[in-house]
Amino acid sequence: MKTLRFLSALILTISPLCGLPAEPGTAPALAVYGNLPAFDDVSMSPSGQRLALIMTIEDKRLLLVFDKDSKPLLRLGVGDFKVRSVTWADDNHVLMWVSQTSNLGIGFTTPKTEFGTVVVVNVEKKTSFSVFSKYASILGGVSRYFGLGQRDGHLYGYFSGITLQRSSVSNDYLLQGANADLYEVDLDSSDARKIAEMPRTETHRSWLVNKNGSIAAYLDFHPARGEWRLVNASGKTIASGVQPLGDVDLVGFGRHTDTLLYVVRENLGEPAWYELPLAGGETQKMFADGGAERAIHARGTAELIGFVRHDRQEFFDSRYRNITALVTNRFTKLDAHVVAWDDSFDHVLVRTDGNGDPGTWWQLDMKTGSFEKLARAYDIDASQIGPIRVVNYTASDGLEMDGILTLPPGQEAKNLPVVVLPHGGPAVHDLPYFDWMAQAFASRGYAAFQPNFRGSTGRGVQFELAGHAQWGRKMQTDISDGLAELVKQSIVDPKRACIVGASYGGYAALTGVTVQSGLYRCAVSFAGIGDLTEFRNGSLSASGNNPTRRRNLDEDFGPVNKLDEVSPIRFVNKVDAPILLIHGKDDVVVPYGQSEEMARALRKAGKQVELLTLEGEDHWLSRSKTRMQMLEAAVSFVEKNNPH
């Protein structure tokens, strides 16, 4: 398959300036990093004979489908949809998970939301439709996806959606609560049929659906009481418990279709995975040494074939484990993950990342053991990619942690200016992968440091729990302790440091020059929280004062009456460095008003502040044009206030 050559030629045909590498010895243009990846979400059909992927050209997103001989089968523009992922239902149907920001109007608990839906693409007919789009009685889009089924020659998808009720006094459809019912959708005709209803109570329900469209089991959760129960097709309760924070989920079928898999996090411990017969009986815990991040199910049978644990795939079958061994042996110096496969496991998609690799997709032929390069996320020469390494350090209270350090390519790691990049979440973690923002700063001569402070994932549940109620406190000093370690090793100059972050990282950037002071020459906050009290109250209100949401907020943030002590907006008089605030107008996670109010308070205090509004952008920098705006502004601001 000459896929890489074909795709590169296609890019140059459509846009002669897109994807051209920089001249040797010069830094790539910021657009190389700021634009969305040239290729993303590569996916393989069940037969292994077709591939689908998302390509970005300037600010346009396209779905491309081609066969094993690189023959183009489909090119579809996705318009204003923001693509989240791409998978295959069968060899003729591609499922594109997309979202759009929508204004809700009067009567809702929040003014706007991000509606997600699924676009079903018929490759042969070159047609597409959005699930539920032809039904005025179903609000917005898809709430959840519950798998595929086949019956009488028809392929079906199982999706939940919020059903509107027709008014008794008019012909209008009205919202009567936010409960999402379960529908069976014909993937050819787009016809939808309701097959199960959400209880019209406070109970939330999710389903396990057989391949023939019948309900195998369901999970009910009551937010006020925190009670949950698993019920099989006969109406028998086969498992139950109390989970005040709502950390319980019906994941899918177990290792056979007469068992199910569920996960529950009890007493704030490690998430525990259980396999249980559908008929009821003895529950089997899957791991004795901790939990997992994700289950892996077979596409054809929906049976459980493995897990992702500690960022690595683990398969039950030795044949699948051989694939993992082949991949690991081929890419000894890179992080390599199996991302997709055909139903026979003869062809496998692999994605690599790490030093010298900006993200590459490969196809492994299991019969020959050969790897073929398919596409790269970013068109950057290996010599222009900043070297990446892990820095281990100890926080001031003795807790061990690490951070990811990206260095300027071709420069000695000594006395460098530094940009500290705390991640969002905060319950995620950074790995030694190619990071577009870290690499952009490194290309301009800065060391880029991504600290995995307490509250991050990746080091076990106790490390994550150590971050509870530590916003602006130990989580913040963990970041500056990491900076101190780099200074101790003479890698960076402590007098030339800025802090840049998004979401929680944006909050940490603001906290670094308000609650803290004297550490950074500038701060850039994208979608950061300035007022924790206001954010908490707004988040609770948007949930309809959901009791589970309230308990989670209290667990994460700590006592409400202590939040002003770590809210940057309460410390604007202490600010001793210029601040750049950047925020998407369509952000439904951290309201745009957080940055607006922070800017107003800083100006009132006579501080140096700039506010950049990104029209049409959300919380995740989903569009190339506005992502590029953000990066250009951030780099320019750092270069101005923290020059080499």
Q: What are phi and psi of 561, to 5 degrees?
A: -75, 0
Alpha helices per DSSP H over 15-163? 30-34
Instruction: Characterize the bridge pairing of strands 492-502 and 416-420.
Output: parallel
CA 116 to chain centre: 14
Q: Is the Cβ–Cβ distance between 480 and 488 less than 8 Å?
A: no
Reading the block at residue 512, the tokens are 């670094």
What's the pLDDT score for residue 23? Answer: 58
The pLDDT of residue 132: 94
Q: Strand runs (DSSP E) across 318-399, as ranges?
A: 335-341, 347-354, 357-365, 370-376, 388-394
Residues 6+ apart with CB under 8 A from 628: 30, 31, 34, 35
CA–CA dist 5, 471 (Å, integer): 48
Cα separation of 42 and 350, whole Å? Answer: 10
Residue with tokens 């922070």: 598
What six digits make up the tokens of 60? 């346009």
End-to-end CA distance of the chain: 46
Low-confidence ranges of the chain (pLDDT < 50): 1, 5-6, 8-9, 11-20, 173-174
Residue 73 and residue 121: Cα distance in Å, rounded?
12
Number of residues assigned to the chain: 644
Question: Minimal CA–CA distance to 608: which of 524, 528, 491?
Answer: 524
Residue among 498, 448, 452 at smallest CA distance from 475 = 452
Chain centroid to CA 316: 26
The percent of the chain in helix, strand and coil, each rounded to the nearest 5, is 20, 40, 40
Q: In this structure, what DSSP letter does residue 245 have?
A: T
Q: Give the residue among 240, 251, 239, 233 at the shortest CA–CA distance from 195.
A: 233
CB atoms within 10 A of CB 130: 17
∠ CA 69-71-73, nearest 5°, is: 130
Q: Compute the distance between CA of residue 140 and CA of residue 175 in angstroms, rounded to an integer.
A: 11
Tens digits of per-residue pLDDT, 534-593?
999 888 887 778 888 888 888 889 899 999 999 999 999 999 999 999 999 999 999 999
Q: To 10 degrees, what angle do helices 532-542 and 547-557 make?
A: 160
pTM attached to this predicted model: 0.91
What gap in Å lies between CA 473 and CA 558, rounded to an integer? Answer: 11
Q: Of 45, 95, 70, which is closest to residue 342 (Cα–Cα)? A: 45
What burial class does residue 478 get, using C-beta atoms within 10 Å of its C-beta: 0-12 exposed, 13-18 middle, 19+ buried?
buried
Phi and psi at residue 638, in whole multiples of 5°?
Answer: -65, -45
Whole-number pLDDT of residue 22: 54
**Number of continuous H segments (helices) and E segments (strands) in the chain:** 11, 37
What is the DSSP track for 365-384? ETTTTEEEEEEESS---GGG
d(CA 111, CA 129): 27
Those residues with Cβ within 8 angstroms of residue 483's Cβ, 6 or more apart along the chain or in another chain: 418, 420, 449, 451, 492, 494, 497, 519
Strands (E), 191-256: 192-196, 204-209, 215-222, 227-232, 237-242, 248-253
Per-residue model confidence (pLDDT) at position 202: 80
- 């204003």: which residue's tokens? 80
Q: How many angstroms separate the CA atoms of 78 and 64, rounded?
A: 11
Q: Judge contact between 207 and 218, C-beta under 8 A.
A: yes
Look at the alpha carbons of 377, 378, 379, 384 in this order and tell me if their dihedral is positive or negative: negative
| Torsion sign over Cα 284, 289, 291, 296 | negative
Tell me how many degrees the CA angle 320-322-323 measures, rounded to the nearest 5: 70
Give how far the C-alpha of residue 68 lies from the chain's centroid of Cα atoms, to the nearest Å.
30
What are 77's strand-pairing partners? 62
Looking at residue 176, what is its pLDDT? 57
**Contact by Cβ (8 Å): 74, 64:** yes
Q: How many whole angstroms separate alpha carbon 595 and alpha carbon 507? A: 10
The burial of 168, by beta-carbon neighbours within 10 Å (0-12 exposed, 13-18 middle, 19 or more buried), is given as: exposed
At residue 235, what is the residue type? G
Greatest Cα pair distance in the chain: 75
Residue with tokens 């205090």: 605
Backbone angles phi, psi at 67, to 5 degrees: -95, -175
How many Cβ atoms sit within 10 Å of the Cβ of residue 375? Answer: 23
Give the pLDDT of residue 467.
94
Question: What's the 3-state SS for 440-452?
Answer: HHHHCCCEEEEEE
What pLDDT score does 265 carry? Answer: 83
Please tell me the predicted confidence (pLDDT) of residue 25.
61
Domains recognised in the chain with CATH numbers: 1-101+336-385 (no CATH), 408-417+458-641 (3.40.50.1820)
